[in-house]
Amino acid sequence: MSAKKVLLLVLSVAFSLFMIWYLFIKKSDYCISFKVKTATGTVFQGIQEWSTARLTTDHEKYVLIEKKDFSFIKQEMTMDKTTMEYSWDIVAVNDSITTVEVSIKDGDHSIYNRLTAPFFNTDFKESQIKKITAFRNGLNKHLENFKVKIDGLGQSEETFVAYISLESVLQEKAQTMIMNDGAITGFLEQNKIKIIGRPYVEVENWNLDKERLNFNYCFPIDSNVKMINNGIVKFKTIKAQKGLAATYYGNFRTSDRAWFALLDYATKHNYKLSNKPLEHFLANPFNGGDELSWETKIVIPFEQ
């Protein structure tokens, strides 16, 4: 057999193997990639919130199939008789840039989509580009509502507080605080215990997989005050803690965006953190005003 025929045979086998992989083994019909200037966790939360909103706006129901930390989400989407899979790979490029790759598979028209998507602007291809572009634009619009500044190594101050222990999903931390604000401030006012500083949130447990928090909602008071324990409001000293620090500017509902930024920073710089953020709110949201001026100091302590 001549060298030319051998080459043609090798190329034919290679092409056949490629087509078998591309048509029948490859996990997606089409991929869309983009970069965004934020932390991986912010993207992760954005995907989940966007998916929930799509049920109302476009009658698309998204069911979570698999997720991994803040780096991967796999979903099944159903609408009428259409079923699709979306797999989101979320990778931190550096301290502030994240790459997102969305792999899309239409279970009923997979082979057709794979054959046409690279060469033609089909309805499938155009609709997916439109959908993911809308998500990216919405995420960028959300990023305009807050700012995060990584301060690097830092330390919180020791402070004596009255506190109430709470539990919520991550996304409802601020709402849970507001719902219970009257319980603690009313108790302090009733017992003539003066608040002498801005409130803290001390996270005692952050379950990243279930996205649930156990945290203390705290108000600084004089350590010499007569402590009256009603079974709900308690007293303690929050010790000074060393860790990575950030300053967050924006609505307290999304202060976890700074947590995500600190986690990405820690990964890139080989720091081990405890995943127990301590937040010190330096503005009073009840006064209103420009949310981008609301300042929160955040420290996530080093792992012990």
177-196 tens-digit pLDDT: 999 999 999 999 999 999 99
Q: Is the pLDDT of residue 5 over 90?
A: no
Contact 78, 61 (CB under 8 A): yes
- CATH dotted code for 148-301: 3.20.80.10
Question: 21 pLDDT band (50/70/90 cuts)?
Answer: very low
Looking up tokens 């079923």 gives 83
pTM comes to 0.87
Q: 40-58 and 123-143 are packed helices; what angle lies between their axes, rounded to 10 degrees?
A: 120
Q: Which of 102-116, 216-230, 240-254 has the highest mean pLDDT?
A: 240-254
pLDDT tens for each residue of 230-272 = 889 999 999 999 999 999 999 999 999 999 999 999 999 999 9
d(CA 125, CA 77): 16
Token pair for 154: 């830092």
Residue in 67, 84, 23 with CA at minimum distance from that of residue 211? 67
Task: Give the pLDDT of residue 230.
Answer: 83
- Percent of the chain exceeding pLDDT 70 equals 88
Lowest average pLDDT, out of 82-91, 150-159, 288-297, goes to 288-297
d(CA 138, CA 156): 34
Q: Is the pLDDT of residue 223 over 50?
A: yes
Q: Which residues of 65-100 are buried (b: 16+ CB within 10 A; e: fewer)?
A: eebeebbebbbebeeeeeebbbbbbbebeeeeebeb
- Write down the mean pLDDT value for the chain: 89
Task: Give the pLDDT of residue 15.
Answer: 45
pLDDT tens for each residue of 56-81 = 999 999 999 999 989 999 999 999 88
Question: 6 pLDDT band (50/70/90 cuts)?
Answer: low
Q: Is the pLDDT of residue 39 over 90?
A: yes
Q: Which residues, in sequence order, are bridge partners of residue 202?
A: 216, 278
Task: Give the pLDDT of residue 202.
Answer: 98
Question: Domain extents for the chain?
Answer: 25-144, 148-301
The answer as to CATH 3.30.530.20 being correct for domain 25-144 is: yes
